[in-house]
Structure 1
Amino acid sequence: MKVLKFGGSSVASSQTIQQVLQVVKQTAQKDKVLVVVSAFGKTTNKLIAAAEQAARKDTNYTSLFNEVKQHHLQVIADLIATERQDEVKTKVEKLFSKLEILLQGCFLLEEITPKTLATISGFGELLSSYIISEAAKNEIDAGYKDSRELIITSNSFENAQVNFKLTEKNCQDFFKNNNNQVTLLPGFIANTENGQSTTLGRGGSDYSAAIYAASLNAEELQIWTDVSGMYTANPSVVKQAFPIPHISYQEAMELSHFGAKVIYPPTIQPTLEKKIPILIKNTFQPEQNGTLITDKTNSKTSVKGISHIENITLLTLEGSGMIGVSGVSKRVFETLSVENINVVLITQASSEHSICIGVFDKDANKAAESINETFAFEIERHKVNPVIVEQNLAIIALVGDNMKNHQGLSGRMFSSLGKNNVNVRAIAQGASEKNISAVINSVDAKKALNTLHEQFFEENIKQLNLFVTGVGNVGERFLAQIHKQATYLKEYLKLNIRVVGISNSRKMTFNEDGLDLTNWKEALENGEQTSLDAFFNKTKALNLRNSVFVDNTANKNVSEVYQNYLEQNIGVVTCNKIACASNLDNYKTLKRVSRKFNAPFLFETNVGAGLPVIDTLKNLIASGDRIHKIQAVLSGSLNFVFNNFNENTTFHDVVAQAQKEGFTEPDPKIDLSGIDVARKILILARESGYELELSDIDNNSFLPEKSLKTTNNDDFYASLTASEAHFQNIYKEANDKDCRLKYVATFENGKASVGLQHIPSDHPFYNLEGSDNIVLFFTERYPVNPLLIKGAGAGAEVTASGIFADVIRIGKN
């Protein structure tokens, strides 16, 4: 014999009930079957709401009553053979007449007692089980039995305790003489010994099915619902969650206690004692394997699932008067027991100085008041402090039978949470080591669940969530590179990089599941109006793990919001040099905040575009080397300009060509004035450990004063044309000395300068072609022959690749 239970979602409509009957028919071909059903979807909630409205003298209760009635009559019309519909309707109408009288009684008396509420809330199962049993008779040898005649309970009407001795005898006596291949029974409802209706509480229909399975020593209990088993995490919160094939009773109970709603803990107890397997299946995808729950599993997986409970309040009782005093915990829990308050989590300091308990938000005020009243004497004498109440919390839990056999799980759990700035308020771990629980802020629950699921279930594939601002030359190529390399990154680097948000100066667009990079331009164009604050607030609100803000602009205002992101544990990757070349205090602040909030701050492309200049410098310093001198050509645009400028060209045309090919900033004066190079050598000096301001850099500009004073590109280019003789003289002077012009940055003895220099043919800079950069590091380890880095130092493609490399660095960390 098998017991099949179908939940409210499985019997929500005529169509879903037909699917249920197909499952039952197929199972009944091999076995005798007991089918336990819940009320039609949402019916119980509507009945309770109608009762509460009636007790408040709200006549709208009749609307809910009629809505429920019409739904049931429609199912009869859809599923019952025409010649039997009148008979079925007659019985159903009688049940609705009784229900209507009860609701009218609530209305007249302006109250609803636990006994009345239990009776009213049980009508959903009475109706659904009878109608489905009659529908089953179309094709199956089916019968019906009222569970109130079999399951006997205590007099606690809304959460009754089962008398298993009487219940087991009733079940065995009835089914010994029952010849139907299929028997339909209502879940959730039962009776006292003197015939008063009771209910079995939360998850009552599952519990009913388990009671029948245990009483009759069934071969298997099947729980049919709208999901394909117990998942590694809540699939509505963790998109990558997947069904657990096989799990133990203990693991299932732990997961269900901590919020896994597929099955409720009381359901497991009757079947556990008799070791009856429980199979959780999906009514709408019956071909799926589902989850099998048994006494033991052969799985060697350490963590089986991650679960969580929302709406938790943490209550902390502490004080020196608790130390060494026996009976404190006893008094706390007796107080809560008297108030019928459920304790979800307990943790106590080894010093006995404090004890923390987690309760549901709805019980928090009553719990705090009761404990304070119990310890009023100690509080008055300052031996114990009044209860500290912390709300808006959640509990997350790792569950697995084999956790005790694996070292380092707690370390992995809390390390991964810490890296994502998830603050843990309390920790609890049972002696059996089947569960590690942590109390965190509710707003971090989703991020925490996804972080832990990635850590323990996703084959070490790390997901990065990018928020990109600036989609011009560099930004567009950056997005293209991410899209092109997505498969490679997953396969070889175990990185899943998603672009969640994009903005330009006008619009922004977001998709929590990741934007489609084949049509991001269209999505952005149809996006909402943006601002720096709006983009930051949306990024913050999403609160995704491993979040990274990517700045592809050269905008000062954008650079000024980096601290906001870092303080939210959102990494920053930027090619924008302004922040790191701003005043020294701001530079130090960004570095400090990055460390404090464990948020990476990477800016490799600030110097040398895609060249590993800053990374190499950091490695030198970290390994104990010390920088003595830096010589560098750090402007790809200026190198391009002076490599292509001669007596046969005009300076105006060469600069225009450099801008057209993407070697300069949108405002080419930034490059030609030397300020861009000054910022770069300043950044290298600071990364070398020296404290300099931009004003400390000696900038020997070659531009005429009138060019430096222009305020727009048109005027700037006009000034270049007007000063052509000046630029030709600069070229001629170098050419006459058989030298080439290079704009060189130098740092030595704590001082830095930038300016145009004549480079002789025997110098390493002489043959630097195109827009290449070159950097020479003279250090304690490289005092004579410097460490040399050389390569393309400008252009949108290489800059984008440098930004991409920084993102990958974060992913591999």
Structure 2
Amino acid sequence: MNILKFGGSSLASPDRIKLVAETVQEHLKNDSTIAVFSAFGGVTNDLLLMAELASAEDDSYKEILSKNEKRHLEAVKELIPVQSQSAILSRIKTEFNRLETLYEGVYLLNELSNKTRHVVSGFGEILSSLIIAEYFRSLEINVGFADSREIVVCRNMNEKVQVNYEETYANIKNYFQNAQNDLYVVPGFVAKTSQGVPSTLGRGGSDFTAAIFAGALEAEEVLIYTDVNGMYTANPSLVPQAYPLKNISYEEAMELSHFGAKVLYPPTLQPLLDKQIRIHIKNTFKPGEEGTVISRSSKENFRWVTGITHIDSIKLLNIEGSGMVGIPGFSKRFFEVLFQENINVVLITQASSEHSICIAVKDDEAEAAKEALDEAFEAEIEHKKIKPVQIEENVAIIALVGDSMKSHHGLSGKMFSALGNNNINIRAIAQGSSERNISAVIAKKDVKKALNTLHEQFFEVPSKELNLFITGVGNVGSKLLAQLKKQEKYLLEKLRLKVRVLGLSNSRKMYFDEEGIDLENWQELLENGEQANKQQFFDKVNNLNLRNSIFVDNTASAEIAGWYKEYLANSISVVTCNKIACADDFVNYQQLQNLAREYGASFLYETNVGAGLPIIDTLKNLVASGDRIQKIQAVLSGSLNFVFNTYKAKDPFYKTVEMAMKEGYTEPDPKIDLSGVDVARKILILARESGLKMELEDIEREDFLSEESLNSETNEEFFELLKQDEPKFQEIYNSAEENNAQLKYVAQLEGGKAKVGLQEVGADHPFYNLSGSDNIVLFFTDRYSEQPLIVKGAGAGADVTASGIFADVIRIGKK
């Protein structure tokens, strides 16, 4: 005999019920069938809500009741021919009249008992099954209605269900001993007590009903039809990359269902284990999909970890104190109190010092558990031997599950390392001796990040997802986006990096897409975005709480640089070409470095010096390897190098500066480059990376611009003053020509002092032939004392700066 079960989502509308009927008819071709049905989607929630409203003397329950009655009557009218509707319409109205009477009683008494809850919550299954049975009759199928309230016997203690299998199995066997019908429609979830009082099997109990019938009749398989393709490696609504499992064992299914996997009601496995009856979970709407088979072993599951799951409706209870240490029977008393209060413990962990016990319980049982424990240990608490029970809220349990975990070393290490690298703090850990489950308690806000992190670690092709939030989409930012789009396939195939841009902002607009922004038309998306707001941008990034989040700053804004500490303090890495933060007061620079270390985030700013050149990285490696910096000489401004390589005193100096601006070699305010402030910031950064505590004002700066031009307020005013100072620039140029030298704006660090200024460089110096916008740095160290270590190349331009930022992003991805 086939045994099928259909969930509420499969019965949410008449069209879906027709689809279910097609599936049932396919099974009827092979054998007689028992079909167990849940309530129509959402009805059970409404039934319980109405009970709560009625008990609170809120008569709005009547409106909800009327809406549900209308829904069921309309289903009858759509599914069943007019000539056959009379009897079933009358039956449905009778059931709703009974419901109305029950709710009126609750309303008048202002009281809602557990017994009443069980009675009213079971009406959904009765109503749906009666309608569906009549629909099958209209299809000329030989149908019987097996009312599980007359067959399944249970004992209920609040929400805890105990089935009387001996009596229930006898009832089922007697009922089907002389079965004559092809199809039996059975309402799931509902049952009765030994005294004949209507009851239920707990939320999700329709699965349990099907399993009970299968166990009694010793069927080969139970097919559970739902709205997904089986049990997944993780919750697909939280982990987009999750995929259905083909085969898992009973034990794995039990662990996954107990720890929050919604596809299967945990007690369902109880009647099936001993008799080795398979469970096949299928998709009602995609019956051709393989689904998941639950059987003795998951022989086709080649992975060590089968699934990742979580429970988020829990609270932690912690009891601690010296009065627990070495006291025999303390744990017995502790758990006996919880047993007497009928409180289920989800997770247990105890320190080896016996100084504390930590448990997790359902969130709606935490206060009762605390009250009972505090009362039981009142004497110890009064004498300060132990502290009152502490409740910790806003936590969740995540768990790795798999039969093969016990045969593989290092899984716990990989799990906790992956979580730690994403700054997910672990509050408690539990692992059974079977090693089939490793559980950890974390903050509820970190659940999505944790599940995705672990899924990436254990289930996906070895790759890493980076989530970028970019501010500044001008010259550099637009080039970066183009490079990211172009290299998308290469990064995934060669470096196993999946780089997604989830947020964009300029000074006017900002735009977010949690699925990843389409880089083909980001300009249009951004233009139609919301008004830019730095606080809201940060809040959005922080609230998304995604693993491997990176804030990318392509601006020269001091205000945006001021936000770095907020990002780093929330474990969001920062990549920037903005020099202001690293050239700020030393205490602020040091704070950013400390925050990055403390919160496990990366703070990378390679493009602060030399655009795409590996100058800072080279210096860091020298220092980290124990080398000592003696002197640094450098041409660090691609802008100034371009200007002085281009200026020949034939065309005015201001024309050369205008050309540099148009080519993107200077900042929007060219004074920043020509004043030497930009170079001073760069040598300051190198000084700090060398280990020196130095401020910007400590850098000696020799200006070649007049004081008036340096103090100009607009670019127009600045260029006008450059025109007036042309004779001075020609004089500087001619002096270099006469000395057969080149003009270079040089930065130097030596003996703990730094200076920047325009110099004439002779033909024998490495700087002499530096062309275009190139940068060059000479590192004189203990190891490179005679011949310096030289880093040379393009040091300005949007493309190379963007590539430097890109390289920093990749550097984070390869950590």
| TM-score, length basis structure 2 | 0.97
Query: What are the equivalent positions in structure 2 for 1:369-388 lying under 5 Å apart?
Result: 369-388=371-390
Secondary structure in 1 matching 2:86: helix
Query: CA-to-partner distance for each residue in 1:277-312, whole Å, 9 max, x for gaps?
Result: 101111111121111111111123111111111132
Work out the CA distance in 2 between the residues paired with 1:484 and 1:465: 17
Change (3 A) 1:57 1:635: closer
Partner residue, 1:18: 18
Secondary structure in 2 matching 1:438: strand
Secondary structure in 2 matching 1:154: strand
Partner residue, 1:604: 606
Matched, 1:452 2:467: no
Counterpart selection for 1:803 from 801, 805, 809: 805
| CA positional deviation for 1:464 | 0.9
Secondary structure in 2 matching 1:379: helix
Matched, 1:50 2:79: no
Partner residue, 2:363: 361
Counterpart selection for 2:716 from 696, 714, 717: 714
Gaps of 5+ in 1: none
Mean CA deviation greater in 560-569 or 135-144: 135-144
Work out the CA distance in 2 between the residues paired with 1:530 and 1:58: 45
| CA positional deviation for 1:156 | 5.3
Query: What are the equivalent positions in structure 2 for 1:654-669 lying under 5 Å apart?
Result: 654-669=656-671
Partner residue, 1:544: 546
Say if 1:118 and 1:157, in contact at 8 Å, map to a contact too: no
Change (3 A) 1:94 1:309: same
Secondary structure in 1 matching 2:163: coil
Matched, 1:395 2:397: yes
Work out the CA distance in 1 between the residues paired with 2:794 and 2:781: 24
Mean CA deviation greater in 777-786 or 152-161: 152-161
Matched, 1:635 2:646: no
Say if 1:157 and 1:198, in contact at 8 Å, map to a contact too: no
Work out the CA distance in 1 between the residues paired with 2:416 and 2:601: 16
Say if 1:572 and 1:601, in contact at 8 Å, map to a contact too: yes
Work out the CA distance in 2 between the residues paired with 1:602 and 1:721: 40
| CA positional deviation for 1:703 | 1.1
Query: CA-to-partner distance for each residue in 1:641-684, whole Å, 9 max, x for gaps?
Result: 11111121110000000010000011111111111111111111
Counterpart selection for 2:442 from 440, 465, 481: 440
Query: What are the equivalent positions in structure 2 for 1:240-639 lying under 5 Å apart?
Result: 240-298=241-299, 299-639=301-641
Secondary structure in 1 matching 2:769: coil
Secondary structure in 1 matching 2:237: coil
Query: CA-to-partner distance for each residue in 1:358-416, whole Å, 9 max, x for gaps?
Result: 12222222222221111111111111111122111111111111111111111111111
Query: CA-to-partner distance for each residue in 1:720-761, whole Å, 9 max, x for gaps?
Result: 100000000000000011111111111122222111111112
Work out the CA distance in 2 between the residues paired with 1:489 and 1:25: 50
Partner residue, 1:5: 5
Change (3 A) 1:53 1:746: closer
The code of the aligned residue for 2:697 comes to: S
Secondary structure in 2 matching 1:250: helix
Secondary structure in 2 matching 1:383: coil
| CA positional deviation for 1:158 | 6.2
Percent sequence identity over matched residues?
A: 58
Partner residue, 2:691: 689
Query: What are the equivalent positions in structure 2 for 1:57-72 lying under 5 Å apart?
Result: 57-72=57-72
Mean CA deviation greater in 273-282 or 686-695: 686-695
Query: CA-to-partner distance for each residue in 1:550-573, whole Å, 9 max, x for gaps?
Result: 110111111122111111001010
Partner residue, 2:237: 236
The code of the aligned residue for 1:27 comes to: H
Query: CA-to-partner distance for each residue in 1:121-164, whole Å, 9 max, x for gaps?
Result: 22211121121112123053332211122212236586542211
Work out the CA distance in 1 between the residues paired with 2:140 and 2:510: 58
Partner residue, 1:750: 752
Query: What are the equivalent positions in structure 2 for 1:39-118 lying under 5 Å apart?
Result: 39-118=39-118
Change (3 A) 1:58 1:589: closer
Work out the CA distance in 2 between the residues paired with 1:608 and 1:269: 67
Work out the CA distance in 1 between the residues paired with 2:59 and 2:590: 67
| CA positional deviation for 1:5 | 0.4
Partner residue, 2:189: 188
Work out the CA distance in 2 between the residues paired with 1:50 and 1:578: 60
| CA positional deviation for 1:93 | 2.9
Matched, 1:210 2:220: no
Secondary structure in 1 matching 2:450: helix
Counterpart selection for 2:646 from 644, 647, 659: 644
Query: What are the equivalent positions in structure 2 for 1:152-167 lying under 5 Å apart?
Result: 152-154=153-155, 159-167=160-168
Work out the CA distance in 2 between the residues paired with 1:261 and 1:9: 13
Query: What are the equivalent positions in structure 2 for 1:726-745 lying under 5 Å apart?
Result: 726-745=728-747
Query: CA-to-partner distance for each residue in 1:677-718, whole Å, 9 max, x for gaps?
Result: 111111112112222221221211111222112122111111
Change (3 A) 1:237 1:726: same
Query: CA-to-partner distance for each residue in 1:473-515, whole Å, 9 max, x for gaps?
Result: 1111111111111111111111111111111112211112211
Say if 1:501 and 1:515, in contact at 8 Å, map to a contact too: yes
Partner residue, 1:125: 125
The code of the aligned residue for 2:272 comes to: T
| CA positional deviation for 1:806 | 0.2
Secondary structure in 2 matching 1:629: strand
Work out the CA distance in 2 between the residues paired with 1:153 and 1:693: 77
Paired residues in the alignment total: 813
| CA positional deviation for 1:460 | 2.0
Moved over 6 A (4+): none
Work out the CA distance in 2 between the residues paired with 1:197 and 1:688: 78
Work out the CA distance in 1 between the residues paired with 2:297 and 2:741: 82
Query: CA-to-partner distance for each residue in 1:260-288, whole Å, 9 max, x for gaps?
Result: 11101100111112111101111111121
The code of the aligned residue for 1:207 comes to: F
Change (3 A) 1:155 1:358: closer
Mean CA deviation greater in 579-588 or 543-552: 579-588
Work out the CA distance in 1 between the residues paired with 2:686 and 2:194: 85
| CA positional deviation for 1:109 | 3.5
Work out the CA distance in 1 between the residues paired with 2:779 and 2:155: 84
The code of the aligned residue for 2:10 comes to: S
Mean CA deviation greater in 231-240 or 349-358: 231-240
The code of the aligned residue for 1:353 comes to: H
Work out the CA distance in 1 between the residues paired with 2:594 and 2:548: 19
Change (3 A) 1:692 1:99: closer
| CA positional deviation for 1:194 | 4.1
The code of the aligned residue for 2:530 comes to: E
The code of the aligned residue for 1:557 comes to: E
The code of the aligned residue for 2:199 comes to: T
Secondary structure in 2 matching 1:458: coil
Partner residue, 2:773: 771
The code of the aligned residue for 1:65 comes to: L
Work out the CA distance in 1 between the residues paired with 2:369 and 2:357: 14
Work out the CA distance in 1 between the residues paired with 2:718 and 2:56: 78
Say if 1:258 and 1:307, in contact at 8 Å, map to a contact too: yes
